[in-house]
Structure 1
Amino acid sequence: MRLRRRLGHRAIAGFTTLLLPFAALVGLASPASAATSATATYAKTQDWGSGFEGKWTVKNTGTTALSSWTVEWDFPSGTSVTSAWDADVTSSGTHWTAKNKSWNGTLAPGASLSFGFNGSGTGSPANCKLNGGSCDGGPTVPGDNAPSAPGKPTASDVTNTSVKLAWSAATDDKGIKNYDVLRDGAKVATVTGTSYSDSGLTAGTDYSYTVQARDTADQTGPVSGATAVRTTGGTTDPPPTGDKVKLGYFTEWGVYGRNYHVKNLVTSGSAAKITHINYAFGNVKNGQCTVDDTYAAYDKAYTADQSVSGTADSWDQPLRGNFNQLRQLKAKYPHIKVLYSFGGWTYSGGFGQAAQNPAAFAKSCKAVVEDPRWADVFDGIDIDWEYPNACGLSCDTSGFSSFKTLSQALRTEFGSNYLVTAAITADGSSGGKIDAADYGGASASLDWYNVMTYDYFGAFDADGPTAPHSPLTSYSGIPAAGFNSADAIAKLKSKGVPAKKLLLGIGFYGRGWTGVTQAAPGGAATGAAPGTYEAGIEDYKILKSSCPATGTIAGTAYAYCGNNWWSYDTPATIGSKMTWAKNQGLGGAFFWEFSGDTTNGELVTAINNGLN
Structure 2
Amino acid sequence: MRTGTSERTTRRFRSIRRRALPGLVALLLPVAGLVGLTTPARAADTGATATYAKASDWGSGFEGKWTVKNTGTTTISSWTVEWDFPEGTKVTSSWDATVTSSGNHYTAKNLSWNGSLAPGASVSFGFNGTGSGSPTGCRLNGGSCDGTSVPGDEPPSAPGTPSASSITDTSVKLSWSAATDDKGVKDYEVLRDGAKVATVTTTSWSDSGLTAGTDYSYAVRARDTAGQTGPASGSVAVRTTGGGGGEQPPGQHVKLGYFTNWGVYGRNYHVKNIVTSGSAEKITHINYAFGNVTGGKCTIGDAYADYDKAYTADQSVDGKADTWDQPLRGNFNQLRKLKAKYPHIKVLWSFGGWTWSGGFGDAVKNPAAFAKSCHDLVEDPRWADVFDGIDLDWEYPNACGLTCDTSGPGAFTDMMRAMRAEFGTNALVTAAITADASDGGKIDSADYAGASQYADWYNVMTYDFFGAWAAKGPTAPHSPLTSYPGIPQAGFDTDAALTKLRAKGVPAKKLLLGIGFYGRGWTGVTQKEPGGTATGAAPGTYEAGIEDYKVLKGKCPANGTVAGTAYAHCGDQWWSYDSPATVTGKMDYAKSKGLGGAFFWEFSGDTTDGELLTAIHRGLG
Please indicate the TM-score interval, normalised by the length of the shorter structure: 0.7 to 0.9
Residue identity opposite 2:321 in structure 1? A
Contact 1:270 1:605 in 2 (8 A): yes
CA distance, structure 1, for counterparts of residue 250 and residue 89 of structure 2: 46
* Number of aligned residues: 556
- Aligned partner of residue 342 in structure 1, secondary structure: strand
| Partner of residue 303 from structure 1, selected from 312, 326, 330 | 312
CA distance, structure 2, for counterparts of residue 40 and residue 504 of structure 1: 54
Pairwise CA distance, 1:180? 3.1
Contact 1:41 1:144 in 2 (8 A): no
Provide the residue aligned with 1:288 in structure 2.
297
- Aligned partner of residue 383 in structure 1, secondary structure: strand
Contact 2:213 2:241 in 1 (8 A): yes
Pairwise CA distance, 1:144? 7.6
Provide the residue aligned with 2:239 in structure 1.
230
Provide the residue aligned with 2:104 in structure 1.
none
| Partner of residue 488 from structure 2, selected from 479, 487, 491 | 479
Contact 1:263 1:306 in 2 (8 A): yes
Say yes or no: does 1:451 pair with 2:460: yes
Contact 1:75 1:94 in 2 (8 A): no
CA distance, structure 1, for counterparts of residue 166 and residue 587 of structure 2: 44
Contact 1:41 1:135 in 2 (8 A): no
Contact 2:158 2:232 in 1 (8 A): yes
| Partner of residue 565 from structure 1, selected from 574, 584, 608 | 574
Say yes or no: does 1:342 pair with 2:351: yes
Pairwise CA distance, 1:487? 0.3
- Aligned partner of residue 617 in structure 2, secondary structure: helix
| Partner of residue 436 from structure 1, selected from 428, 440, 445 | 445
Q: 1:264 to 1:123 in 2, by over 3 A?
A: closer
The RMSD of aligned alpha carbons is 3.8
CA distance, structure 1, for counterparts of residue 245 and residue 135 of structure 2: 50
| Partner of residue 73 from structure 1, selected from 60, 81, 104 | 81
- Aligned partner of residue 272 in structure 1, secondary structure: coil
- Aligned partner of residue 248 in structure 2, secondary structure: coil
Aligned ranges 1:128-167 → 2 under 5 Å: 128=141, 149-167=158-176
Pairwise CA distance, 1:154? 1.1
Aligned ranges 1:439-588 → 2 under 5 Å: 439-588=448-597
Q: 1:237 to 1:270 in 2, by over 3 A?
A: closer
Say yes or no: does 1:376 pair with 2:385: yes
Contact 2:48 2:72 in 1 (8 A): no
Q: 1:59 to 1:8 in 2, by over 3 A?
A: closer
Pairwise CA distance, 1:388? 0.2
Q: 5+ unaligned residues in a row in structure 2: which ranges?
A: 1-6, 32-43, 53-60, 101-107, 111-118, 121-128
- Aligned partner of residue 524 in structure 1, secondary structure: coil
Provide the residue aligned with 2:412 in structure 1.
403
Aligned ranges 1:147-226 → 2 under 5 Å: 149-170=158-179, 178-214=187-223, 223-226=232-235
Residue identity opposite 1:94 in structure 2? V
| Partner of residue 364 from structure 1, selected from 342, 367, 373 | 373
Provide the residue aligned with 1:606 in structure 2.
615
Aligned-residue identity in percent = 69
Structure 1 residues 533-542 or 182-191, which shifts more?
Answer: 182-191
| Partner of residue 255 from structure 1, selected from 251, 264, 270 | 264
Pairwise CA distance, 1:447? 0.5
Q: 1:219 to 1:294 in 2, by over 3 A?
A: farther
CA distance, structure 1, for counterparts of residue 525 and residue 181 of structure 2: 70
Q: 1:62 to 1:236 in 2, by over 3 A?
A: same
Pairwise CA distance, 1:160? 2.9
TM-score (norm 2): 0.81
CA distance, structure 1, for counterparts of residue 328 and residue 451 of structure 2: 35
Pairwise CA distance, 1:40? 3.9
Pairwise CA distance, 1:195? 2.3
Pairwise CA distance, 1:386? 0.2
Contact 2:287 2:391 in 1 (8 A): yes
Provide the residue aligned with 1:8 in structure 2.
18
Contact 1:241 1:608 in 2 (8 A): no
Pairwise CA distance, 1:152? 2.5
Residue identity opposite 1:516 in structure 2? V
- Aligned partner of residue 575 in structure 1, secondary structure: helix
Contact 1:540 1:597 in 2 (8 A): yes
Contact 2:83 2:138 in 1 (8 A): yes
